[in-house]
């Protein structure tokens, strides 16, 4: 029993077991490193093998474990261990079968521009600082005869700087003064000379290489944003690109081809640094029947990565049954590459599970033995996964500290209940009442008196169980929505790579999932008789109405051409309701012709233009994420129940208004 003064103090503290799920490797959670230590060592050893291999061939690792067994947590441990030396790149499930490699590249770019915890530099800056130090070592000291230009004072300064550590290069050039800009331009020129000597100057790779170097040469957020959007192959107004001396992309570029070139560049740069760690997670949705094309395209993309990108450890986190499915779906060449090392996570021992819980309870300076009774600890440890064990501990903590009732499935016998069971007189009384009930039922039967006593008891029991279960479900989903909304809100201001193709893929996943509520929904897309550039979009067709929802994040000429063609589709499809989304963090629409086409759309009878402001964006991501987490079994809830609760809770959101209209009448 927790003493009252301790309980009062703990009521002011955060529940130490309140966070049971690692969403991505860059988060910070308590870690009992003696759990899965051998499995972690195997991954580290594979990384070492890549570094020591003279050819630096990429290798694959499959981490197989049931839901909640710690696969992503293990990736977090890898990140904490390796971020100061290696680049760890996190890729969630792709959504668009026509843009798999672009999705992979976009998510890798997002990881690279993420700051390393406790250090004021991004992963990309680490990569470039280490690479440039090696490049100057190569040009000035090791092989000067291979490079035409003579050594300069700036070269000497750089060589001296990196003697004290490669990051000195970044700290020395940390301001955006004209002198420092000229210094960094010297680094850009020397680096490009190295690239031209060692690799081909044809294709898009040299431009990507220049852009990556240039990104690290600026400290100002606005300039970095311009280069980031350009690297993501989003259309940036030329007047902004002129500020950083970059040419706009060719209108006819194929994003899949350019993305593969960009990934090659990162692989080549890693040869001057350390092996890349590429982690694929949240892949369970790929195995669903409606994602067959997506799964096939994903397998082909993985093959391309192994073929063209050197010096990389490629990790796939999978459930056991999904891994078996992938082995059946992928050809042997893919399976052999990604499963060069297989790591299986099984349920830890009871001793290790207690260590995990005690690691979490360190934040309140107590052990679980001080918090819970032995009977409660056994109830907690009886759950199947690490996540469910931590969740159970959180529920018991709330019960004991905040007097929040336990969910039905966790209720344990109290001392008074045990005493009642041990009291022979009370047990005899229960037996007597049971016998009386049986006698009454027999008398009623002989006298032909209809008795619904048992039926009423059963009905009342079922009603009670349903109400209790529904209460538990509402609480689980409600707590999830509150926590996840806060997390997405905190990440909103971070540097992100937002693409219209990714959002269209998320939209498709959302409406595929809504079919569980309204099976008659049909999904499609619009086309012209001949190829034309149009916004990424999805058509949702009900029995009585159709909705075309598009995303257009481009600027400049790309915006104008896509907007013009979108208006043509609006005119030709008057039976559809058209919606066009644009993220609020993107560049404002500019140019007279572009603004005129946008106004034309706004003034149509069947068109609506919607800016994804902060709340709209967070709710959109929340809707997508709850579907992913339920499919990945990161959230223990039924998808239909979660969707209905979410539809009611966020009915003010523009996308959910469309969804509610498409679904029709529903009950929560």
Please report the DSSP string for 353-390 in residue order. Answer: HHHHHHHHHGGGT--HHHHS-HHHHHHHHTSSSHHHHH
pLDDT at 5: 65
HSE of 248, CA atoms in CB hemisphere, 13 A:
16
Question: Which is more confident, 415 or 239?
Answer: 239
Alpha-carbon gap, residue 40 to 44, rounded angstroms:
6
pLDDT tens for residues 382-424? 999 999 999 999 999 999 999 888 887 777 654 444 444 455 5
Alpha-carbon gap, residue 205 to 184, rounded angstroms:
20
pLDDT at 408: 78
The full DSSP string for 175-220 is: S--HHHHHHHHHHHHHHHHHHHHHS--SSSHHHHHHHHHHHHT---
Owner of token pair 């800016």: 611
Q: Could you tell me the pLDDT band of residue 529, with boundaries at 50, 70 and 90?
A: confident
At residue 659, the 3 state secondary structure works out as: helix
pLDDT at 219: 86
Q: Could you tell me the pLDDT band of residue 52, with boundaries at 50, 70 and 90?
A: very high
Residues 6+ apart with CB under 8 A from 220: 176
Q: What is the mean pLDDT of residues 611-628?
A: 95
pLDDT tens for residues 275-301? 999 999 999 889 888 889 999 999 999
pLDDT tens for residues 562-576? 999 999 999 999 999
Helix or strand run (H / E) with residue 598 = helix 592-602
Bridge partner residues of 313 (DSSP) = 59, 277
Give the chain's count of helices (H) and strands (E): 28, 10
At residue 611, the 3 state secondary structure works out as: strand
pLDDT tens for residues 305-316? 999 999 999 999
Q: What is the mean pLDDT of residues 138-160?
A: 89
Backbone angles phi, psi at 411, to 5 degrees: -65, 130
At residue 552, the 3 state secondary structure works out as: coil
Q: Could you tell me the pLDDT band of residue 77, with boundaries at 50, 70 and 90?
A: very high
Flag whether pLDDT at 428 surpasses 70.
Answer: no
pLDDT tens for residues 624-652? 999 999 998 888 889 999 999 999 999 99
Flag whether pLDDT at 459 surpasses 60.
Answer: no
Residues 6+ apart with CB under 8 A from 292: none
Flag whether pLDDT at 665 surpasses 90.
Answer: no
Alpha-carbon gap, residue 191 to 133, rounded angstroms:
10
pTM for this entry: 0.86
Flag whether pLDDT at 461 surpasses 50.
Answer: no
Alpha-carbon gap, residue 513 to 618, rounded angstroms:
19
The mean pLDDT value of the chain amounts to: 88
The answer to whether residues 643 and 518 touch, using CB atoms and an 8 Å cutoff, is no
The DSSP letter of residue 289 is G
Helix or strand run (H / E) with residue 642 = helix 639-649
**Torsion (CA) 511, 512, 515, 521 in degrees, nearest 10:** 70
Q: What is the mean pLDDT of residues 211-224?
A: 92
Q: Could you tell me the pLDDT band of residue 462, with boundaries at 50, 70 and 90?
A: very low
Strands 87-91 and 522-524, by their bridges, are unpaired
Record the tokens describing residue 457, joined without a space. Answer: 């008891």
Strands 59-65 and 312-318, by their bridges, are parallel
Q: What is the mean pLDDT of residues 266-277?
A: 97
pLDDT at 414: 47
Owner of token pair 């194929």: 254
Span of 5-19, 31-45, 498-512 with lowest mean pLDDT? 5-19
pLDDT at 570: 97
Flag whether pLDDT at 181 surpasses 90.
Answer: no
Backbone angles phi, psi at 345, to 5 degrees: -100, 115
Q: What is the mean pLDDT of residues 90-108?
A: 94
Most confident region among 74-78, 469-473, 587-591 by mean pLDDT: 74-78
């Amino acid at each position: 029993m927790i003493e009252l003064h301790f309980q009062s103090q703990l009521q002011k503290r955060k529940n130490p077991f309140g966070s049971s799920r690692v969403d991505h490797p860059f988060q910070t959670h308590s870690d009992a490193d003696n759990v899965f230590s051998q499995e972690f060592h195997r991954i580290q050893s594979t990384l070492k093998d890549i570094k020591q291999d003279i050819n630096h061939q990429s290798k694959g690792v499959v981490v197989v474990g049931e839901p909640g067994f710690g696969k992503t947590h293990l990736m977090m441990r890898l990140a904490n261990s390796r971020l100061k030396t290696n680049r760890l790149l996190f890729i969630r499930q792709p959504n668009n079968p026509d843009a798999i490699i672009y999705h992979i590249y976009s998510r890798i770019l997002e990881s690279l521009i993420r700051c390393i915890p406790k250090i004021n530099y991004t992963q990309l800056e680490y990569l470039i600082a280490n690479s440039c130090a090696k490049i100057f070592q190569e040009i000035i000291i090791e092989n000067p005869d291979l490079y035409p230009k003579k050594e300069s004072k700036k070269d000497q300064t750089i060589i001296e700087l990196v003697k004290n550590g490669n990051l000195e290069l970044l700290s020395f050039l940390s301001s955006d003064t004209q002198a420092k800009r000229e210094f960094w331009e010297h680094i850009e020129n020397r680096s490009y000379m190295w690239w031209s000597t060692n690799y081909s100057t044809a294709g898009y790779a040299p431009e990507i290489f220049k852009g990556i170097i240039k990104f690290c040469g600026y400290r100002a957020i606005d300039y970095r944003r311009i280069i980031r959007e350009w690297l993501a192959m989003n259309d940036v107004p030329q007047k902004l690109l002129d500020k950083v001396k970059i040419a706009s992309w060719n209108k006819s570029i194929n994003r899949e081809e350019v993305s593969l070139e960009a990934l090659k560049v990162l692989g080549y740069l890693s040869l001057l640094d350390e092996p890349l760690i590429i982690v694929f997670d949240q892949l369970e949705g790929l195995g669903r029947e409606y994602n067959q094309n997506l799964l096939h395209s994903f397998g082909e993309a993985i093959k391309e990565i192994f073929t063209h990108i050197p010096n990389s450890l490629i990790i796939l986190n999978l459930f056991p049954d999904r891994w078996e499915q992938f082995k059946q779906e992928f050809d042997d060449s893919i399976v052999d590459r990604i499963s060069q090392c297989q790591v299986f996570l099984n349920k830890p021992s009871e001793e290790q599970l207690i260590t995990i819980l005690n690691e979490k309870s360190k934040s309140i300076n107590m052990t679980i033995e001080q918090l819970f009774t032995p009977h409660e600890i056994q109830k907690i440890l009886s759950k199947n996964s690490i996540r469910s064990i931590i969740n159970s501990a959180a529920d018991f903590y709330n019960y004991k500290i905040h007097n929040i009732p336990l969910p039905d499935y966790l209720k344990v016998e109290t001392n008074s209940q045990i005493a009642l069971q041990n009291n022979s007189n009370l047990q005899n009384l229960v037996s007597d009442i049971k016998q009386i009930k049986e006698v009454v039922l027999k008398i009623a039967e002989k006298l032909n008196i209809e008795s619904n006593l048992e039926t009423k008891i059963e009905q009342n029991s079922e009603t009670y169980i349903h109400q209790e279960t529904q209460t538990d479900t509402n609480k689980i989903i409600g707590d999830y929505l509150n926590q996840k909304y806060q997390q997405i809100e905190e990440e909103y201001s971070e540097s992100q790579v937002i693409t219209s193709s990714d959002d269209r893929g998320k939209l498709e996943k959302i409406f595929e999932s809504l079919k569980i509520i309204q099976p008659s929904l049909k999904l499609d897309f619009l086309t012209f008789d001949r190829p034309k550039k149009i916004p990424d979009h999805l058509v949702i067709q009900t029995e009585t109405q159709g909705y075309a929802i598009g995303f257009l994040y481009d600027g400049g000429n790309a915006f104008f051409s896509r907007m013009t063609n979108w208006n043509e589709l609006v005119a030709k499809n008057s039976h559809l309701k058209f919606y066009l989304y644009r993220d609020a963090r993107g560049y404002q629409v500019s140019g007279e012709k572009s603004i005129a086409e946008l106004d034309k759309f706004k003034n149509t009878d069947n068109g609506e233009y919607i800016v994804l402001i902060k709340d709209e964006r967070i709710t959109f991501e929340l809707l997508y994420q709850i579907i992913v987490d339920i499919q990945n079994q990161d959230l223990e809830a039924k998808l239909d129940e979660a969707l209905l609760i979410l539809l009611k809770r966020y009915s003010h959101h523009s996308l959910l208004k469309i969804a509610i209209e498409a679904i029709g009448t529903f009950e929560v």
